[in-house]
């Protein structure tokens, strides 16, 4: 398997610490996965234009475009990409919006267990 054959995960979060934590945990769980990062929704959409990832971990509350809006745009143009909202915003409205958009939901805080569940959601 070449590196370009390896699954690509795009981590989208305005918190550098959150991106680093998710990246480290995923790298331990799936060492063959490639990992890219984006600090906001606009950067994520641009990254997807360059190379569509297999999976996207998306924060909801970010400056500019929300993660929910970005997930909707990704779904519209790349329905094959599996998306999980990784957020501390666990309001029912957010869960329902994610579900209706065909997006999975993984609650923060970021822990090895919560990220393992997110990876499992991707692989379902």
- What pLDDT, on the 0 to 100 scale, is given for residue 93? 80
Pairing of β 82-87 and β 55-58: parallel
**Domain range for residue 24?**
3-123
Query: Measured at the alpha carbon of residue 65, what is the angle toward residues 74 and 86, in degrees to the nearest 5?
Result: 65
- What pLDDT, on the 0 to 100 scale, is given for residue 1? 39
Q: What is the CATH number of the domain that holds 76?
A: 3.40.50.2300
Q: What is the mean pLDDT of the chain?
A: 91
- What pLDDT, on the 0 to 100 scale, is given for residue 55? 98
- Residues counted in the chain: 124
Q: Residues of the chain with pLDDT > 90: what percent?
A: 73
User: Exposure of 54 by Cβ count < 10 A (0-12 exposed, 13-18 middle, 19+ buried)?
Assistant: middle
Mean pLDDT of 70-85: 93
Quote the CA–CA distance of 1 and 99 in Å, as a whole number.
Answer: 33
- What pLDDT, on the 0 to 100 scale, is given for residue 3? 52
**pLDDT tens-digit series, residues 23-50:** 999 999 999 999 999 999 999 999 999 9
Structural domains counted in the chain: 1
- What pLDDT, on the 0 to 100 scale, is given for residue 2? 41
pLDDT at 4 over 70: no
User: pLDDT band at residue 92, thresholds of 50, 70 and 90?
Assistant: confident
Q: DSSP secondary-structure letter at 3?
A: G
- Give pTM, 2 decimals: 0.92
Mean pLDDT of 68-72: 92
Quote the CA–CA distance of 39 and 46 in Å, as a whole number.
Answer: 11
pLDDT at 6 over 90: yes
């Amino acid at each position: 398997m070449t590196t370009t054959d390896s699954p690509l995960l795009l981590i989208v979060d305005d918190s550098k610490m959150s991106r680093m934590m998710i990246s480290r945990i995923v790298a331990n769980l799936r060492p063959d996965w490639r990992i890219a990062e984006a600090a906001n929704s606009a950067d994520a959409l641009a990254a997807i234009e360059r190379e569509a990832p297999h999976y996207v971990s998306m924060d909801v509350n970010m400056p500019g475009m929300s993660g929910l809006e970005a997930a909707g745009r990704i779904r519209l143009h790349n329905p094959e990409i599996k998306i999980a909202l990784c957020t501390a915003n666990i309001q029912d409205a957010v869960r329902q919006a994610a579900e209706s958009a065909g997006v999975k939901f993984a609650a923060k805080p970021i822990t090895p267990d919560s990220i393992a569940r997110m990876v499992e959601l991707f692989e379902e």
